[in-house]
Structure 1
Amino acid sequence: MSEQNKAVLRQANAAVAAGDNEGFLSFCADDIVWSTVGGETLRGKEAVRAWMVKGYAEPPKFNVRELVAEGNMVVAIGEIESRDGEGRPVPNAYCDVWRFRDGKMVELRAFVVETGGAPEA
């Protein structure tokens, strides 16, 4: 199960990197809960879709350094570049904690911390 969930997350991440939001959403449960710790919580696939239109208008640049899985949980650790209000790149370190149900991503707890340096390749 853990390796299958890691494979699903890899495919979902590839869709995001390619700008394929619908492809990403195909890996999500309809009742997904997407929380950015210290930020907003999105409930349901439609809310995530609406956020992605703006938040991922330009596909994010990210690098997954580690994937750790056990049971129905997968943790991704790496770097991601976001954009500020002026469109300038903002490098961040991140840790995404995903929970899976029946092969679908059902919950995300995203920990994102601005690092101030360029993301590593």
Structure 2
Amino acid sequence: MQPDNKSTLLLANATITQNDHEGFLKHCTEDTTWIFVGDITLRGKEAVRQWMAENYIEPPVFEVEKIIEGEDHVIAMGTITIKDKHGKATTSSYCDVWRFEEGKMAELRAYVVAT
């Protein structure tokens, strides 16, 4: 039995907090697209892999406040704390809108604001 999309997202996020980028990426489609609204767009697993290597030097810390699932989308809202290469932590509020295809994460539209 395939897990529901919300469970898939929670499992994928749990792997990323364990610094397991490949474990996370196995939940994404090959042509996954990540759109950071007002910033950059990543196309494909390799682009996401490189972005994670540069930006998740230490595993991010998520505080999920709400998750909403409907049809082929899951929306997650909360805060994320990321440390840069100098060890400086930045906390941001986020709203991630994930679109799923056949149980895998096909697209992310991320609204991220430093707090």
Question: What TM-score range do you get, normalising by the shorter chain?
Answer: over 0.9
Aligned counterparts of 1:83 and 1:57: Cα–Cα separation in 2:
7
Where structure 1 has 5 or more consecutive residues not aligned to the other structure, the ranges are 116-121
2:107 matched to which residue of 1? 107
Between 1:58-67 and 1:23-32, the stretch displaced more is 58-67
One-letter code aligned to 2:18 = A
Where structure 2 has 5 or more consecutive residues not aligned to the other structure, the ranges are none
The CA RMSD over aligned residues, in Å, is: 1.3
Residues 67-106 of structure 1: per-residue CA shift (max 9 Å, x gap):
1010000000000012357431111110000000000000
One-letter code aligned to 1:100 = F
One-letter code aligned to 1:42 = L
- TM (norm. structure 2) is 0.93
One-letter code aligned to 1:29 = T
Aligned counterparts of 1:27 and 1:86: Cα–Cα separation in 2:
30
1:119 matched to which residue of 2? none
- TM (norm. structure 1) is 0.89
1:68 matched to which residue of 2? 68
One-letter code aligned to 1:72 = D
C-alpha displacement at 1:51, in angstroms?
A: 0.8
Residues 18-72 of structure 1: per-residue CA shift (max 9 Å, x gap):
1000000000000000111111100000110111111112100111111101000
Aligned counterparts of 2:39 and 2:87: Cα–Cα separation in 1:
20
